[in-house]
Amino acid sequence: MNSSASLTADQGLNWNVEQLYHQLAPRLPNLSIEVVSEIASTNSALLERARVATRLSFEGDLAQVRRSTESQAFGRRTADHQPCLLVAEHQTQGRGRHGRVWQSEAGASLTFSLAMPLSPVDWSGFSLAVGVALADALDPAGCAGYASNTAAATTPWIGIKWPNDLWLMPAGGASAEGRKLGGLLIETVPAGDMRLAVVGIGLNVLPLSLAHAQASSGFACLQEIDPDASAPQVLARVVVPLVDALQRFGREGFAGFADRFAARDVLRGRAVQAGAAGVVGSEALIRTATGIEGVAEGVSNTGALRVRVPGDGLREVMSGEVSVRLRPAAGAR
């Protein structure tokens, strides 16, 4: 078994690495599973390993490559393009989109990165597909009918806030406000004829003392809907569906996830504000200085957010270029 684990005695977490390996290895040959007590960033570590492997393939000087990584938390593999699941009980420099800091707490947060070589025809909508896989694994029932705004959820459910956040939505209809439950950071680097996708996941499992400093929407945790939730238990629930989803995305692209995303889209029908970014109009890319405001109308077949702008028609906001904030609907207090 090509896996390693480093567990902290004070946390006493049992990650069941061997069981995870036996579940994942048939899907991912040459898989490495590693659990570390502390690391700066799981995404950064896996990206640097891949870059080192690329340099090695060109330079051929393994000794020099190893010297360049002596101070890094690289675990058993110092240079690698192979699949890897890297779990950290605590990240000291966790990252979100656009360089934002992702805070976490040992035992209360689940932070991990999964690296897999992929070669989809189109990467568009990748983060939405990952969000669907996580939400379906954590909350199989979801909120039937939400997409048509005709049904009210009777229990809290997990929604997806475009382009890369999971929100815990309260019982209620389409106007209910949610709180951030987790986030994704997806990065890729060349890996031979393919690209290595590094999918970073951060989920709030237990209440965080840091939550007040992290998001204006407020923070939620999985313990609110699953009193027995723990970081290892949540990892075991999501990692196999995540691997399956990434492989399916490689075959089908976003089309294989579009309907399931629509059922969890928390922006659909809501007034939104998109910050300064690239916005696709009918003919060209329009650069906006102050952003746009309108009503979200789902996503395109490439995963771009569609916003109906009063007096200006439908615009498509591209993932990775904008920050979207919920704006209170008219008459809301």
pLDDT in tens, 57-110: 555 555 555 554 444 444 445 556 789 999 999 888 655 554 555 556 777 999
Beta strands in 90-214 (DSSP E): 109-118, 157-161, 165-169, 179-191, 194-204
Q: How far is CA 239 from CA 24, 28, 33, in A?
A: 8, 12, 11
Domain 3-262, CATH among 3.30.565.10, 3.30.390.10, 2.40.50.100, 3.30.930.10:
3.30.930.10
Query: What pLDDT, on a 0 to 100 scale, did the predictor assign at position 152?
Result: 65
Q: How far is CA 266 from CA 41, 149, 214, 269, in A?
A: 29, 11, 20, 8
Architecture field, domain 271-326: Roll (2.30)
Phi first, then psi, for residue 122 (nearest 5°) are -145, 130
113 forms beta bridges with 86, 200
**Mean pLDDT across the chain:** 79
- Buried b vs exposed e over 278-301: b needs ≥16 C-beta within 10 Å? ebbeeeeeeeeeebbebbbbebbe
Beta strands in 222-291 (DSSP E): 271-274, 278-280, 285-287
pLDDT in tens, 209-235: 754 445 556 889 999 999 999 999 999
Where are the chain's structural domains?
3-262, 271-326
- Inform me whether the pLDDT recorded for 332 exceeds 60: no
Residues 107, 285: Cα–Cα separation, whole Å = 45
Sign of CA dihedral 68, 72, 74, 76: positive
- Inform me whether the pLDDT recorded for 29 exceeds 80: yes
- Better pLDDT: 297 or 79: 297
For range 159-172, the mean pLDDT: 92
